[in-house]
A = this chain, B = another copy of it.
Amino acid sequence: MIIVMKNSAGQAALDAVEARVHAEGLETRVLPGEHKTVIAVIGTRPPELLQQLERMPHVEATIPISEPFKLAARTDTRERSVIQVGGVEIGNGSVTVMAGPCTVESPDQMAATAQHVASAGAQLLRGGAYKPRSSPYSFQGMGIPGLQLLAEAREATGLPVITEVLDPRQVEFVVDYADVLQIGTRNAQNYPLLCEVGACRKPVLLKRGMGNTIDEWLMCAEYILAAGNPDVMLCERGIRTFETSSRFTLDLNAIPLLRRRTHLPIVVDPSQGTGHWYMVHDMALASVAAGADGIIVEVHPEPETALIDGQQSLSFRHFSELMARLQPMAAALGRPLGAPVGV
């Protein structure tokens, strides 16, 4: 940690700050500058010390140096993690495609979609049974019957299933149906929920909070890792910016930044991240080109009747076209699409 003192700081202020730091058992080095004096603190500080020192007289700012996420950080010994889901490996250099409806609506819709995305080459099946809706008057998901339909679709296609949990009380039974638990953007900083999925033995796909920095997001992952679950995937899904002609701004800069800072696999959701079906193809390709380990896209047999998010769902034909465009590009990048499950 670096402590920047104000121009006005005299010896007494410096002494007080040093005494405060020494009381924590840490060392200091005072570096007088031309205008401002800086105090460097050496040793592992308690997390609250940064803010406490900022409150002392004549302190202008405090600057942390070491990353606060110990388990999520990329290190010399742990370059990249590979996560196993059923027979699928995510993060091994290939590109994993996860697809399915935004929400489970009916047996026919689920079965047909699962069949289509499997045959087109998807490796995981997505589908929501519990949906966080901005309006209390909107359809909130089928709940347990929806989970059962997901399990049946897995049976029929062999695709592992990914589905969202909203409530810490849901985790204990959703794990019985799902292969991957998804934490949505609105719950990215729902710490009791993160602890609950951290305590279970299923991989987690952690979406970025729409108002969260990359640092905060990695700290959310750290909650799950610290609770004992090592299998966390990060999913960029768009952030809130002043640009509103897309529903969110997909922050693909996050991909190279994350690859530099964390060993966790990185997935992108171009459906949520754009909000318009006609942008999904281009942004799916861009995500893979930028280095994402996988993408997750919404597919619906009849988007114009979808109960949720039809405007950003691909039809079956569009999804097939996406796979056809993605395949040669991924191959040219030396990152083949993952082999279909069971092959």
Contacts and interface: CB of A to CB of B under 8 A. Distances in A.
B55 A253 contact: no
Interface in A143-192: 166-169, 186-187, 189-192
Contacts of A48: 138-139, 306-308, 310
Nearest to A57: B304
A7 B55 contact: no
A11 interface: no
Give this chain's copy count. Answer: 4
A76 B35 CA distance: 12
Contact of A76 (B8, B227, B256): B8
A210 interface: yes
Interface of A: 2, 4, 7-8, 20, 29, 31-36, 38, 40, 42-44, 47-48, 51-56, 63, 65-66, 68, 75-76, 132-139, 166-169, 186-187, 189-192, 209-216, 219, 222-223, 226-227, 239-246, 249-257, 260, 273-274, 277-279, 281-283, 285-291, 303-311, 313, 325, 328-329, 331-333
Contacts of A244: 213, 242, 244
Nearest to A274: B253
A311 B51 contact: yes
Contact of A55 (B35, B215, B226, B313): B313
